[in-house]
Each structure stands twice: as C-alpha cells, then as structure tokens.
Chain A
Amino acid sequence: MKHILNDINKAFENKIRLGIMSALVVNRKIDFNTLKELLDVTDGNLASHLKALEKREYISVHKEFIGRKPRTQYAATKLGKAEFKKHIRAIEKLIS
C-alpha cells in the first residue's frame, strides 16, 4: 500500500494539471487556446498550472509565430509521460 502511495504524484492531484497531462499524452502538441477550450479554464489559471508542470520538466513549451501572431504550443516530455503513466497505474491499483 505504501509504495503505491509513493507513486501517486502530487503534481497531478490537481484537476487542471491532470487534464493538461491527459490531453498532452495523447496529442503530439496542443496550443494554449485549444487547451483553454478543452479544459474550460481562465487564461491565468491555465498559465499558472502550465508553469508548474514546465518547472518540473513534465511539459515542454514551443513558441512560434503565425504571421505576426505568437502561438505557444505545449508537449509532454518523456519524463512527463513516464510520471503520468506511473500516476495512473497507482490510481488504478488504489481503486481496484
């Protein structure tokens, strides 16, 4: 039981961060606005959670310009995907 709880990642306990990771593990890249619509959150809220995940190096940020408009895209890193998988497996064990 104890080692299962060790695999529960505090970073993914929050609903929005869990949502961000869920979307990023099944999509190659997602831009900020699409994530915002998908999760139905405000700009500031989403930005702060993205920052937190970026700090832990679970996601990577790619900025590009379409014409003059900047677009920020996010992708899950290898580390992020591995940690997320571990987290889901731990949850599954807890509820089974």
Chain B
Amino acid sequence: MNKQKYLDDIKDIKNIMDRSTKFISLSGLSGISAGILALIASYIAYRLVYFDQNYLVDRIAVINYKTLIQLLLIAVATKLLAILLGIFFTSKKAKKNGQKMWDAQARRFYINLLIPLITGGLLCLVLLIRGYVSLVAPMTLIFYGLGLVNASNHSISDIRSLGIIEIILGLIAVCFVGYGLIFWAIGFGVMHIIYGIVMHYKYGS
C-alpha cells in the first residue's frame, strides 16, 4: 500500500542529491548547435587555408598574416555564437529542472572546466605567436578534453567519456601534421553533435 509512496521518496532523494551536487542542466541542444557551428567554421577555415593542394605530398596549410587574422575572427565568432546558444538552451532546461542556471553546482562545473581550458588557450596563443601553427588544433582538442574530464564529476557522467575521446583525437592529431583542422572538425563538430543527440534523448532538453 505504501510502496508507491516509498518509490516516490527514493525518486525525490535521488533528485535532490543530484540537484544539490551536480550541474545537470547541460542541454543536448546546446551541444548540437555548437557542433553545427564548429562544422560550418571548419568548412570556412578549410577553404581559407587549404588551397592549391598538391595531393601527392603532405597537405600544406597555407597560413599568412592575413589568413591568420581571418581564422582568429572565425574562431572568436564561432565561440561567441556557441556560447550564446548554449546559454539560451541551458537556461531553458534549468528552468524546467527547477535549477538556477548559475548556482553553486554550475559554478563548480565551469571553474573545473575553465582551468584546463584557459591554460590551453594561453598555450595556443603562445604557439601561434611562435609559429607552431600545426600544434594549435591538436592542443585545443587535448585541453578541451582535459577540461571536460576534470569537470565531469560535477555534471552528468557522459561528459567524461566525451572528454577522453577529445584527448585521444588531439593526441592522434599531433601525429598527423597538416590534418589538424579535420580532427578539429571531428572533435568539436561531429562529437558535439553525437553527444548532443545522445544527451537530448537521455535527459531531455
């Protein structure tokens, strides 16, 4: 007779434990939108950088001062758009979960994500300035992956495996100089879309 009440109790306990410790309002839709943006950006960057290829030798990414500025602009614009869409979808989902978008749990998640991410960002800037352009794409993948793994304790557990995949992709990308952009498109584009879809169906958006 009381079985249903106790089942509800267990559900409540789990829900409150999750809500009080984890940032669960990450929306699958924000992953999908970020992934699509990343693919579009990669395509534009690809057209800019890889032209006049001689397919018999190693691919050569042609980057000069002008294309570098254009690439940075594309990167910044993509990032901003992805963040805006992410905020939009996340706030919608947070409202549905009865969780605030910027609470102690979200803070813990983002701080743990940002420490490796900012480290990687600064490192990439130094690499760019020193001319190690080919290392930039793999490094962004590796540090983004490290950030996700680091932050995954404070959010849904799927984030962890996504992080590990990004790290592996980044390490492989270091070995294939000249293909950085392609790995970048897989890591930030395709993987985000796949994980976004999985999260959307698993947790709702």
> A34-B104, A91-B9 are contacts. A26–B2 as well, Cβ < 8 Å?
no
Of B2, B13, B16, which contacts A38 at CB under 8 A? B16
Say how far B23's CB is from chain A's closest CB, in angstroms.
Answer: 14
Of A15, A27, A34, A92, which contacts B12 at CB under 8 A? A15
Judge whether B3 and A88 touch: CB under 8 Å. no
Interface of A is mostly: helix
Of B16, B21, B104, which contacts A19 at CB under 8 A? B16
Judge whether B13 and A18 touch: CB under 8 Å. yes
> A19-B16, A39-B16 are contacts. A26–B10 as well, Cβ < 8 Å?
no
Answer whether residue A22 sits at the interface, using C-beta atoms and an 8 A cutoff: yes
Judge whether B20 and A94 touch: CB under 8 Å. no
Chain A: CB-nearest residue to B10: A91
> A91-B6, A94-B2, A95-B3 are contacts. A38–B20 as well, Cβ < 8 Å?
yes
Answer whether residue A11 sits at the interface, using C-beta atoms and an 8 A cutoff: no
Q: For chain A, which range describes its interface: under 10, 10 to 19, 20 to 34, or 35 or more residues?
A: 10 to 19
Cα of A91 to Cα of B9 in the assembled complex, Å: 9
What 0/1 pattern do residues 76 to 93 of A give for CB contact below 8 A with B? 000000000000100110
Of B10, B16, B100, B104, which contacts A92 at CB under 8 A? B10
Residues of A near B2 (CB, < 8 A) are: 94
Answer whether residue B19 sits at the interface, using C-beta atoms and an 8 A cutoff: yes
Judge whether B21 and A26 touch: CB under 8 Å. yes
> A26-B17, A27-B20, A38-B20 are contacts. A19–B12 as well, Cβ < 8 Å?
yes
Say how far A92's CB is from chain B's closest CB, in angstroms.
Answer: 7
Say how far B98's CB is from chain A's closest CB, in angstroms.
Answer: 7
Judge whether B16 and A95 touch: CB under 8 Å. no
Cα of A88 to Cα of B12 in the assembled complex, Å: 12
Taking CB atoms and an 8 Å cut-off, the chain B residues in 1-55 that contact chain A are: 2-3, 6-7, 9-10, 12-13, 16-17, 19-21
Judge whether B21 and A38 touch: CB under 8 Å. no
Taking CB atoms and an 8 Å cut-off, the chain B residues in 119-133 that contact chain A are: none
Judge whether A37 and B13 touch: CB under 8 Å. no
Judge whether B16 and A23 touch: CB under 8 Å. yes
Chain A: CB-nearest residue to B4: A95
Cα of A48 to Cα of B86 in the assembled complex, Å: 39
Chain B: CB-nearest residue to A94: B6
Judge whether A22 and B12 touch: CB under 8 Å. yes
The list of the 4 closest CB pairs from A to B, nearest first, reads: A22-B16, A23-B20, A22-B13, A91-B6
Task: List the interface of chain A (C-beta within 8 A of B).
Answer: 15, 18-19, 22-23, 25-27, 30, 34, 37-40, 88, 91-92, 94-95
Other than the given A22-B13, A40-B98, A95-B10, 17 more pairs (CB < 8 A) read A15-B9, A15-B12, A18-B12, A22-B12, A23-B17, A23-B20, A25-B17, A26-B17, A26-B20, A27-B20, A30-B20, A37-B100, A37-B103, A38-B20, A88-B10, A91-B9, A95-B3
